[in-house]
Structure 1
């Protein structure tokens, strides 16, 4: 069972980084590092971060397969220039 998430100002996190990392590793605690009350980052257990990366990779693979299937079905992909224009880049 993991501990509930905590918030910690960046100055305190800097002073107690080893303890924060140990709590993430051994207790599964997520600690949000804040500045002026705004969350900037999170220290999370490595297995959680790895699970998120695997899920993102799986979503990327599924999206790529879907795009290839649409192209094979005759859909015409847009060019990079068109995409940039559409996104306002």
Structure 2
């Protein structure tokens, strides 16, 4: 992982982008020594986003299974009645 000031990155933007793409490691942009942003390869970001979404889905499924185990299921006729479909 590379840290670079925003002003340095501004003057070398093409190199910063190429670095992130070639090495598949984010380039962190800093301002007054603090990280404020990152340049990351677009495909890497897509993979990270998909992995985060998959993890959220897995956690939701586990929570749903735990709720069913604790409270049981709701009969389909009751669900339809609650939705005004019966």
User: Radius of gyration: which is bigger?
Assistant: 2
Question: Corresponding residue for 1:84?
Answer: none
Give 5+ residue unaligned stretches, structure 1. Answer: 76-89
- The count of corresponding residues between Structure 1 and Structure 2 is 71
**TM-score between both structures, scaled by the size of structure 1:** 0.68
Distance between the aligned counterparts of 1:27 and 1:60, measured in 2?
28
Runs ≥4 residues deviating over 4 A: none
Larger helix percent: 2
**1:36 maps to which of 32, 35, 51:** 32
Cα deviation, 1:20-39, whole Å, max 9, x if unaligned, reads: 11121133342110011111
Matched, 1:46 2:46: no
Question: Corresponding residue for 1:69?
Answer: 65
Distance between the aligned counterparts of 1:30 and 1:60, measured in 2?
23
